[in-house]
Homo-oligomer: A and B are copies of this chain.
Protein backbone atom coordinates (compact mmCIF):
# COMPACT_ATOMS: atom_id res chain seq x y z
CA UNK A 1 0.00 0.00 0.00
CA UNK A 2 1.36 3.41 -0.87
CA UNK A 3 -1.12 6.01 0.31
CA UNK A 4 -1.10 9.44 -1.23
CA UNK A 5 -1.17 12.50 1.01
CA UNK A 6 -4.95 12.96 0.72
CA UNK A 7 -5.51 9.29 1.63
CA UNK A 8 -3.15 9.64 4.55
CA UNK A 9 -5.16 12.56 5.82
CA UNK A 10 -8.23 10.34 6.00
CA UNK A 11 -6.41 7.49 7.71
CA UNK A 12 -6.48 7.21 11.46
CA UNK A 13 -3.27 6.98 13.47
CA UNK A 14 -3.57 3.22 13.95
CA UNK A 15 -3.87 2.70 10.20
CA UNK A 16 -0.74 4.79 9.70
CA UNK A 17 0.99 2.80 12.43
CA UNK A 18 0.04 -0.45 10.74
CA UNK A 19 2.01 0.57 7.62
CA UNK A 20 5.13 0.49 9.80
CA UNK A 21 4.60 -2.86 11.49
CA UNK A 22 7.03 -4.87 9.43
CA UNK A 23 9.66 -2.15 9.14
CA UNK A 24 12.93 -2.28 11.05
CA UNK A 25 12.78 1.46 11.58
CA UNK A 26 9.27 1.60 12.99
CA UNK A 27 9.18 4.62 15.31
CA UNK A 28 5.44 4.98 14.74
CA UNK A 29 3.32 3.17 17.34
CA UNK A 30 3.56 3.66 21.10
CA UNK A 31 3.90 -0.05 21.84
CA UNK A 32 6.97 -1.17 23.76
CA UNK A 33 9.53 -2.57 21.34
CA UNK A 34 12.81 -2.12 23.21
CA UNK A 35 14.91 -5.14 24.20
CA UNK A 36 14.04 -7.04 27.33
CA UNK A 37 16.28 -6.48 30.33
CA UNK A 38 18.09 -9.47 31.78
CA UNK A 39 15.56 -9.73 34.60
CA UNK A 40 12.67 -9.60 32.12
CA UNK A 41 14.31 -12.22 29.95
CA UNK A 42 14.45 -14.55 32.92
CA UNK A 43 10.68 -14.10 33.39
CA UNK A 44 10.19 -15.12 29.75
CA UNK A 45 12.36 -18.17 30.45
CA UNK A 46 9.84 -19.06 33.16
CA UNK A 47 6.83 -18.87 30.80
CA UNK A 48 6.17 -22.64 30.90
CA UNK A 49 6.14 -22.55 34.71
CA UNK A 50 3.95 -19.45 34.75
CA UNK A 51 1.55 -21.21 32.39
CA UNK A 52 1.19 -24.18 34.74
CA UNK A 53 0.94 -21.87 37.77
CA UNK A 54 -1.89 -20.00 36.04
CA UNK A 55 -3.70 -23.27 35.38
CA UNK A 56 -3.43 -24.32 39.03
CA UNK A 57 -4.67 -21.17 40.80
CA UNK A 58 -8.18 -19.70 41.03
CA UNK A 59 -8.45 -16.96 38.46
CA UNK A 60 -9.98 -14.55 41.00
CA UNK A 61 -6.75 -14.70 42.98
CA UNK A 62 -4.61 -14.21 39.88
CA UNK A 63 -6.66 -11.20 38.88
CA UNK A 64 -6.42 -9.57 42.31
CA UNK A 65 -2.67 -10.17 42.41
CA UNK A 66 -2.18 -8.64 38.97
CA UNK A 67 -4.27 -5.57 39.85
CA UNK A 68 -2.41 -5.06 43.12
CA UNK A 69 1.08 -5.57 41.70
CA UNK A 70 0.50 -3.33 38.70
CA UNK A 71 -1.28 -0.50 40.50
CA UNK A 72 1.00 -0.45 43.56
CA UNK A 73 4.00 -0.16 41.25
CA UNK A 74 2.64 3.26 40.20
CA UNK A 75 1.69 4.54 43.65
CA UNK A 76 -1.94 3.59 43.13
CA UNK A 77 -2.39 2.06 46.56
CA UNK A 78 -6.17 2.02 46.84
CA UNK A 79 -8.50 0.54 44.29
CA UNK A 80 -12.05 -0.78 44.24
CA UNK A 81 -12.27 -4.32 45.60
CA UNK A 82 -16.00 -4.84 45.08
CA UNK A 83 -17.01 -7.32 42.35
CA UNK A 84 -16.67 -5.53 39.03
CA UNK A 85 -14.86 -2.54 40.58
CA UNK A 86 -11.85 -3.18 38.36
CA UNK A 87 -12.81 -4.96 35.15
CA UNK A 88 -9.93 -6.65 33.35
CA UNK A 89 -10.05 -6.27 29.56
CA UNK A 90 -7.97 -7.50 26.63
CA UNK A 91 -6.55 -4.00 26.21
CA UNK A 92 -7.12 -0.37 27.15
CA UNK A 93 -8.93 0.20 23.85
CA UNK A 94 -11.38 -2.58 24.61
CA UNK A 95 -11.92 -0.86 27.99
CA UNK A 96 -12.46 2.38 26.06
CA UNK A 97 -15.01 0.75 23.74
CA UNK A 98 -16.87 -0.60 26.78
CA UNK A 99 -16.89 2.85 28.39
CA UNK A 100 -18.04 4.56 25.18
CA UNK A 101 -20.86 2.11 24.59
CA UNK A 102 -21.87 2.31 28.26
CA UNK A 103 -22.19 6.08 28.00
CA UNK A 104 -24.26 5.68 24.83
CA UNK A 105 -26.47 2.98 26.37
CA UNK A 106 -27.06 5.08 29.48
CA UNK A 107 -28.48 7.96 27.49
CA UNK A 108 -25.68 9.30 25.33
CA UNK A 109 -25.03 13.03 25.33
CA UNK A 110 -21.85 15.09 25.07
CA UNK A 111 -18.36 14.28 26.22
CA UNK A 112 -15.78 17.00 26.90
CA UNK A 113 -12.49 15.55 25.67
CA UNK A 114 -8.91 16.74 26.04
CA UNK A 115 -7.47 18.23 22.85
CA UNK A 116 -5.16 16.99 21.38
CA UNK A 117 -5.08 13.29 22.21
CA UNK A 118 -4.68 9.94 20.42
CA UNK A 119 -7.44 9.74 17.83
CA UNK A 120 -8.89 6.37 18.69
CA UNK A 121 -10.40 7.97 21.81
CA UNK A 122 -12.55 10.49 19.89
CA UNK A 123 -13.20 7.86 17.22
CA UNK A 124 -14.51 5.29 19.71
CA UNK A 125 -16.65 7.92 21.46
CA UNK A 126 -18.09 9.29 18.19
CA UNK A 127 -18.43 5.79 16.76
CA UNK A 128 -20.78 5.04 19.64
CA UNK A 129 -22.90 8.07 18.87
CA UNK A 130 -21.54 10.53 21.44
CA UNK A 131 -21.00 14.22 20.69
CA UNK A 132 -17.60 15.70 21.54
CA UNK A 133 -16.48 19.07 22.85
CA UNK A 134 -12.76 19.77 22.77
CA UNK A 135 -11.09 20.96 25.98
CA UNK A 136 -7.69 22.49 25.28
CA UNK A 137 -4.84 21.28 27.46
CA UNK A 138 -4.19 24.78 28.78
CA UNK A 139 -7.81 25.08 29.90
CA UNK A 140 -7.61 21.67 31.51
CA UNK A 141 -4.44 22.41 33.44
CA UNK A 142 -4.77 26.11 34.31
CA UNK A 143 -7.36 28.69 35.19
CA UNK A 144 -10.89 28.14 36.49
CA UNK A 145 -11.90 24.46 36.56
CA UNK A 146 -15.40 25.43 35.47
CA UNK A 147 -14.05 26.15 31.99
CA UNK A 148 -12.81 22.56 31.72
CA UNK A 149 -16.25 21.13 32.50
CA UNK A 150 -18.63 22.75 30.02
CA UNK A 151 -22.23 22.96 31.13
CA UNK A 152 -24.42 20.12 29.98
CA UNK A 153 -21.72 17.54 29.29
CA UNK A 154 -22.23 14.03 30.49
CA UNK A 155 -18.57 13.16 30.94
CA UNK A 156 -15.16 14.83 31.03
CA UNK A 157 -12.51 12.58 29.50
CA UNK A 158 -8.83 13.28 30.20
CA UNK A 159 -5.73 11.40 29.07
CA UNK A 160 -3.02 11.84 31.72
CA UNK A 161 -0.15 11.74 31.01
CA UNK A 162 -1.43 12.85 27.65
CA UNK A 163 -0.45 11.25 24.36
CA UNK A 164 1.40 12.81 22.52
CA UNK A 165 2.22 15.80 24.75
CA UNK A 166 3.11 14.00 27.97
CA UNK A 167 1.27 16.57 30.10
CA UNK A 168 0.34 15.26 33.55
CA UNK A 169 -2.59 16.29 35.72
CA UNK A 170 -1.26 17.26 39.15
CA UNK A 171 -2.94 15.88 42.23
CA UNK A 172 -4.31 19.32 43.11
CA UNK A 173 -5.67 19.92 39.65
CA UNK A 174 -7.29 16.48 39.55
CA UNK A 175 -8.94 17.26 42.89
CA UNK A 176 -10.24 20.56 41.48
CA UNK A 177 -11.63 18.97 38.32
CA UNK A 178 -13.17 16.14 40.33
CA UNK A 179 -14.89 18.59 42.67
CA UNK A 180 -16.29 20.46 39.68
CA UNK A 181 -17.50 17.19 38.14
CA UNK A 182 -19.10 16.22 41.45
CA UNK A 183 -20.91 19.56 41.63
CA UNK A 184 -22.16 19.25 38.05
CA UNK A 185 -22.84 15.49 38.25
CA UNK A 186 -20.45 14.84 35.38
CA UNK A 187 -18.61 11.51 35.11
CA UNK A 188 -14.85 12.10 35.24
CA UNK A 189 -13.02 9.56 33.07
CA UNK A 190 -9.25 9.24 32.93
CA UNK A 191 -7.05 7.30 30.54
CA UNK A 192 -3.78 6.82 32.41
CA UNK A 193 -2.22 4.35 29.98
CA UNK A 194 1.13 6.15 30.00
CA UNK A 195 1.39 6.86 33.72
CA UNK A 196 3.92 4.09 34.29
CA UNK A 197 6.53 6.30 32.62
CA UNK A 198 6.06 9.38 34.77
CA UNK A 199 6.52 9.41 38.55
CA UNK A 200 4.66 12.73 38.69
CA UNK A 201 1.51 10.69 38.05
CA UNK A 202 2.38 8.07 40.67
CA UNK A 203 -0.05 9.43 43.23
CA UNK A 204 -3.28 7.83 44.33
CA UNK A 205 -5.71 9.01 41.66
CA UNK A 206 -8.53 6.80 42.92
CA UNK A 207 -8.29 8.27 46.44
CA UNK A 208 -8.52 11.80 45.01
CA UNK A 209 -11.51 10.83 42.91
CA UNK A 210 -13.22 9.02 45.77
CA UNK A 211 -12.70 11.90 48.17
CA UNK A 212 -14.23 14.34 45.69
CA UNK A 213 -17.51 12.46 45.63
CA UNK A 214 -17.67 12.51 41.84
CA UNK A 215 -18.66 9.56 39.67
CA UNK A 216 -15.51 8.32 37.96
CA UNK A 217 -13.89 5.82 35.60
CA UNK A 218 -10.17 5.16 35.09
CA UNK A 219 -8.63 3.17 32.23
CA UNK A 220 -5.20 1.64 32.95
CA UNK A 221 -2.92 -0.21 30.53
CA UNK A 222 -0.10 -2.66 31.16
CA UNK A 223 0.75 -2.63 27.47
CA UNK A 224 2.90 0.46 27.09
CA UNK A 225 5.79 -0.36 29.43
CA UNK A 226 7.28 -3.73 28.70
CA UNK A 227 8.24 -5.41 25.45
CA UNK A 228 6.01 -8.41 26.13
CA UNK A 229 4.99 -8.97 22.51
CA UNK A 230 1.66 -7.27 23.22
CA UNK A 231 0.73 -9.72 25.94
CA UNK A 232 -1.11 -7.21 28.11
CA UNK A 233 -4.34 -6.24 29.79
CA UNK A 234 -6.36 -3.06 30.13
CA UNK A 235 -8.16 -2.22 33.38
CA UNK A 236 -11.47 -0.41 33.70
CA UNK A 237 -11.90 0.87 37.26
CA UNK A 238 -14.95 2.80 38.41
CA UNK A 239 -16.74 4.25 41.39
CA UNK A 240 -19.60 2.25 42.84
CA UNK A 241 -22.11 4.97 41.92
CA UNK A 242 -20.86 5.39 38.34
CA UNK A 243 -24.31 4.66 36.92
CA UNK A 244 -23.05 3.07 33.70
CA UNK A 245 -23.57 -0.55 32.53
CA UNK A 246 -19.82 -1.20 32.42
CA UNK A 247 -19.93 -4.69 33.95
CA UNK A 248 -22.83 -5.77 31.74
CA UNK A 249 -21.18 -4.68 28.49
CA UNK A 250 -17.87 -6.14 29.70
CA UNK A 251 -19.67 -9.47 30.16
CA UNK A 252 -21.05 -9.25 26.61
CA UNK A 253 -17.50 -9.04 25.30
CA UNK A 254 -15.53 -11.32 27.60
CA UNK A 255 -15.67 -13.85 30.38
CA UNK A 256 -12.09 -13.04 31.31
CA UNK A 257 -8.59 -12.44 30.06
CA UNK A 258 -5.90 -15.09 29.95
CA UNK A 259 -4.83 -16.24 33.45
CA UNK A 260 -1.36 -16.72 31.97
CA UNK A 261 -1.20 -13.03 31.04
CA UNK A 262 -2.35 -12.10 34.56
CA UNK A 263 0.52 -14.06 36.06
CA UNK A 264 2.95 -12.51 33.58
CA UNK A 265 1.76 -8.98 34.43
CA UNK A 266 2.25 -9.70 38.13
CA UNK A 267 5.81 -10.87 37.56
CA UNK A 268 6.75 -7.93 35.31
CA UNK A 269 5.21 -5.48 37.81
CA UNK A 270 7.14 -7.04 40.69
CA UNK A 271 10.33 -6.73 38.70
CA UNK A 272 9.47 -3.12 37.87
CA UNK A 273 8.90 -2.30 41.50
CA UNK A 274 12.23 -3.89 42.42
CA UNK A 275 14.12 -1.45 40.21
CA UNK A 276 13.03 -2.27 36.68
CA UNK A 277 10.77 0.75 36.44
CA UNK A 278 13.56 3.16 37.39
CA UNK A 279 15.76 1.47 34.79
CA UNK A 280 13.00 1.96 32.22
CA UNK A 281 12.72 5.64 33.10
CA UNK A 282 16.47 6.08 32.57
CA UNK A 283 16.22 4.18 29.29
CA UNK A 284 13.43 6.40 27.95
CA UNK A 285 15.20 9.56 29.16
CA UNK A 286 18.37 8.49 27.36
CA UNK A 287 16.43 7.85 24.15
CA UNK A 288 14.77 11.25 24.48
CA UNK A 289 18.20 12.86 24.88
CA UNK A 290 19.42 11.01 21.81
CA UNK A 291 16.56 12.44 19.73
CA UNK A 292 17.13 15.95 21.02
CA UNK A 293 20.90 15.83 20.63
CA UNK A 294 20.68 14.55 17.06
CA UNK A 295 18.17 17.18 15.97
CA UNK A 296 19.10 20.16 18.16
CA UNK A 297 20.79 22.19 15.43
CA UNK A 298 18.21 21.65 12.70
CA UNK A 299 17.00 25.15 11.83
CA UNK A 300 13.41 25.86 12.85
CA UNK A 301 12.96 22.58 14.69
CA UNK A 302 11.76 22.63 18.31
CA UNK A 303 10.69 20.20 21.03
CA UNK A 304 7.36 21.48 22.32
CA UNK A 305 7.04 19.04 25.24
CA UNK A 306 9.89 20.14 27.41
CA UNK A 307 9.11 18.17 30.55
CA UNK A 308 7.66 15.06 28.90
CA UNK A 309 8.64 11.68 30.32
CA UNK A 310 6.32 9.39 28.35
CA UNK A 311 7.66 7.01 25.72
CA UNK A 312 6.91 9.33 22.79
CA UNK A 313 8.46 12.65 21.79
CA UNK A 314 6.97 15.33 19.59
CA UNK A 315 9.09 17.42 17.27
CA UNK A 316 7.79 20.64 15.82
CA UNK A 317 9.04 20.92 12.25
CA UNK A 318 8.77 24.68 11.91
CA UNK A 319 7.27 25.45 8.52
CA UNK A 320 7.65 21.94 7.09
CA UNK A 321 4.39 19.98 6.51
CA UNK A 322 4.60 16.70 8.43
CA UNK A 323 3.03 14.72 5.59
CA UNK A 324 5.85 15.73 3.24
CA UNK A 325 8.44 14.75 5.82
CA UNK A 326 6.53 11.53 6.58
CA UNK A 327 6.46 10.62 2.88
CA UNK A 328 10.18 11.24 2.44
CA UNK A 329 11.03 9.27 5.58
CA UNK A 330 8.91 6.43 4.34
CA UNK A 331 10.88 6.24 1.09
CA UNK A 332 13.81 5.28 3.29
CA UNK A 333 11.79 2.73 5.27
CA UNK A 334 11.54 5.02 8.32
CA UNK A 335 8.19 5.50 10.07
CA UNK A 336 7.08 8.16 12.52
CA UNK A 337 3.61 9.53 13.17
CA UNK A 338 2.22 12.74 11.62
CA UNK A 339 0.49 14.72 14.38
CA UNK A 340 -2.51 16.08 12.48
CA UNK A 341 -4.86 13.36 13.69
CA UNK A 342 -4.02 13.92 17.36
CA UNK A 343 -5.70 17.30 16.93
CA UNK A 344 -9.02 15.57 16.38
CA UNK A 345 -11.02 18.82 16.44
CA UNK A 346 -8.63 20.87 14.35
CA UNK A 347 -6.16 18.68 12.44
CA UNK A 348 -4.31 21.60 10.84
CA UNK A 349 -2.79 22.41 14.23
CA UNK A 350 -0.82 19.17 14.05
CA UNK A 351 0.24 19.54 10.42
CA UNK A 352 3.79 20.63 11.29
CA UNK A 353 4.79 18.10 13.89
CA UNK A 354 5.75 14.46 14.12
CA UNK A 355 5.64 12.00 17.00
CA UNK A 356 8.62 9.71 17.54
CA UNK A 357 8.27 6.52 19.59
CA UNK A 358 11.02 6.14 22.20
CA UNK A 359 10.40 2.59 23.46
CA UNK A 360 12.81 1.20 20.89
CA UNK A 361 16.37 -0.09 20.77
CA UNK A 362 18.75 2.91 20.78
CA UNK A 363 20.41 1.68 17.58
CA UNK A 364 17.20 1.68 15.57
CA UNK A 365 16.08 4.98 17.09
CA UNK A 366 19.43 6.56 16.27
CA UNK A 367 19.25 5.41 12.64
CA UNK A 368 15.69 6.68 12.29
CA UNK A 369 16.40 10.08 13.81
CA UNK A 370 19.49 10.48 11.62
CA UNK A 371 17.25 9.83 8.63
CA UNK A 372 14.87 12.47 9.90
CA UNK A 373 17.76 14.89 10.30
CA UNK A 374 18.91 14.21 6.74
CA UNK A 375 15.39 14.74 5.37
CA UNK A 376 15.00 17.99 7.29
CA UNK A 377 18.38 19.28 6.18
CA UNK A 378 17.55 18.04 2.68
CA UNK A 379 20.81 16.13 2.54
Contact = CB atoms under 8 A, between A and B. Distances in A.
Interface string A230-252: 11100000000000000011011
B18 A251 contact: yes
Contacts of A31: 255
Nearest to A231: B258
A278 interface: no
Given A90-B91, A97-B97, A229-B258, A21 B253 contact: no
A199 interface: no
Interface in A253-276: 253-261
A252 B47 contact: no
A37 to B, nearest CB: 14
Interface string A1-44: 10000000000101101100110000001010000000000001
A127 B252 contact: yes
A120 interface: yes
B48 A252 contact: no
Contact of A249 (B18, B55, B127, B249): B127
Would you call the interface of chain A mostly helix, strand, loop, or mixed? helix
A293 interface: no
Contact of A94 (B17, B59, B94): B94
Contact of A259 (B48, B60, B94, B229): B229
A105 interface: yes
B230 A1 contact: no
Contacts of A97: 97, 252-253
B47 A51 contact: yes
Interface string A43-64: 0110110011011001111000
A377 interface: no
Given A47-B48, A91-B90, A231-B261, A256 B60 contact: no
B258 A230 contact: yes
A33 to B, nearest CB: 9
B12 A60 contact: no
Interface in A53-93: 54-55, 58-61, 83, 90-91, 93
Interface of A: 1, 12, 14-15, 17-18, 21-22, 29, 31, 44-45, 47-48, 51-52, 54-55, 58-61, 83, 90-91, 93-94, 97, 101, 105, 120, 123-124, 127-128, 227-232, 248-249, 251-261
Given A21-B60, A90-B91, 11 more contacts: A1-B83, A14-B254, A21-B58, A29-B255, A44-B52, A54-B229, A91-B254, A120-B252, A123-B252, A124-B252, A231-B261
